[in-house]
Chain A
Amino acid sequence: MELILKLLNDAFFSAIPAVGFAMVFNVPKRFLPYCAIAGALGHSCRTLLLHFNLPIEWATFIAAALVGLVTIGFAKRHLAPPLMYAVAAIIPMIPGTYAFNTVIALVQLTAQSEISAELTSAVISNGLKTVFILGALSVGLAMPSLLYFRSRPVI
């Protein structure tokens, strides 16, 4: 029960950024609800997988693949490019805090006169997480077209 509540909370609060950023990317108004659905589905799928102690990179990869699959379904129905829904939908999963911590530690490192082990490890671990999560996101998103739509167009 607690898990379901957590997932619902997650789905709701990741649908809002999906719509917000879809508006920044000027997605037409009639497609905004689909961006919200895809965003909520992706982020709550990731939370569910994280709940079962999967590493965040793999959870992100699977969630992004799910988003890719769902958005191809939307794209076929509306004859619109699938990336239009997908990019707005994965915005809530972008590793913003990791990226933020990386660059803040990097700036602190430049300000200091000698290299500190603590800051260096913060830069390396946060930076690696950022890069790998980003990679997992975009490769996961491309998964349906890499595996299934190899030689024919999606729509």
Chain B
Amino acid sequence: MYADTQNDITRQVVRVAQLLLAYGAESELVEEISQRLGHALGLASVEISISSNSLVLTSLVHGRCITTTRRIREHGINMTIICELQRICLLTEKGLYGIREVRKRVSRIEPKTYPKRYLVPMIGLSCASFCHLFGGDVAACFITFIASSIGMFVRLSIAKHHFNLLLNFAVTAFVTTLIAQIGYHFDLTDTPKLPMAASVLMLVPGFPMINAISDMVKGHLSVGISRWGHATLLTVSSVIGITISMQLGGLLL
């Protein structure tokens, strides 16, 4: 294998690993996919070291090593991209794809998200179902629907302007709780506490938490801990938003 071919393959593999990490895959999956892709493209071995915001990859073939580092910026979770990358890896392993096809398909990947007009009502309905599962009455579910829909709208609008995620969560939690507590101020429902608990559930960083624990269980302790720290920070900042809004409403002593 010629040196520039190894360069090329290593670049594609590290690009795949970088995309996987940036769009929220767990470390075990990143390691597995990049090693399998490397083997399928003809590298003898691929070793990878992941830290909280960067990635080092070494490829070895014919006694020649290439080591390269990439910086990772979080882009939010996008399962479509992870699915696509996994498929590329599998097709390469079956021998259907060579380096040219991999390069073409990887360069064509673009993050697509669901449009706001579907996301906002769906999240409203989701939080309303949470409220129903917790035992709230119909009025409570309706308040939850309104509050979390408006909250999701605020969250997406802020996210569009690339504000810090922590700030986004605090503001969203503030707005959501402000609306959800109307059950306390007007006599609308018998269970005024449930809308407040259910409508902020859209801010629970479920994916980072599950990723964190599953990283730690599978032996990627430092990545797991840093993800756990991130999830905790997100929770704390939404709690700050909730607290301020409850104090404004006079619900906290």
Q: What are 12 A-B interface contacts by the 8 Å CB criterion?
A: A13-B133, A22-B79, A24-B202, A25-B207, A26-B111, A96-B130, A96-B200, A101-B197, A104-B246, A106-B239, A108-B253, A138-B217
B137 near A: Cβ within 8 Å? no
Name the CB-closest residue of B to A108.
B252
Return the CB mask of A1-44 against B: 1 if under 8 Å, else 0: 00000000010011011011111111110010000000000010
Q: Is the CB of B123 within 8 A of A26?
A: no
B56 near A: Cβ within 8 Å? no
Q: Is the CB of B206 within 8 A of A139?
A: no
A87 near B: Cβ within 8 Å? yes
Stretch from B2-10, B45-53, B113-121 at the A interface? B113-121
Q: Which residues of chain A are within 8 angstroms of B90 by Cβ–Cβ distance? A: 79, 155
Chain B interface category by residue count:
35 or more
Judged by DSSP, the binding face of A is: helix
Q: Is the CB of B29 within 8 A of A81?
A: yes
Q: Which residues of chain A are within 8 angstroms of B218 by Cβ–Cβ distance? A: 142
Partner of A141 from B119, B210, B235, B246 at Cβ < 8 Å: B210
Query: Which A residues are within 8 Å of any B CB, using their own CB?
Result: 10, 13-14, 16-17, 19-28, 31, 43, 79-81, 83-84, 87, 90-92, 94, 96-97, 99-101, 103-104, 106-108, 111-112, 134-135, 137-139, 141-142, 146, 153, 155
Q: Is the CB of A20 within 8 A of B123?
A: yes
Minimum distance in angstroms from B157 CB to a CB of chain A: 15
Partner of A19 from B80, B86, B122 at Cβ < 8 Å: B122
From A14, A138, A141, residue with most partner B Cβ within 10 Å: A138
Q: Which residues of chain A are within 8 angstroms of B198 by Cβ–Cβ distance? A: 96-97
Q: Which residues of chain A are within 8 angstroms of B83 by Cβ–Cβ distance? A: 28, 31, 80-81, 84
Q: Is the CB of A23 within 8 A of B114?
A: yes
Judged by DSSP, the binding face of B is: helix
Q: Which residues of chain B are within 8 angstroms of A25 by Cβ–Cβ distance? A: 24, 77-79, 207
Query: Which B residues are within 8 Å of any A CB, using their own CB?
Result: 24-26, 29, 32, 36, 77-83, 86-87, 90, 111-114, 118-119, 122-123, 125-127, 129-130, 132-134, 196-198, 200-202, 204, 206-207, 209-210, 213-214, 217-218, 235-236, 239, 242-243, 246, 252-253
Q: Which residues of chain B are within 8 angstroms of A112 by Cβ–Cβ distance? A: 253
Q: Is the CB of A26 within 8 A of B114?
A: yes
Partner of A92 from B77, B81, B113, B133 at Cβ < 8 Å: B133
Alpha-carbon distance A87/B82, docked complex (angstroms) = 14
Given A23-B122, A96-B201, A111-B252, A134-B132 contact (CB < 8 Å): no
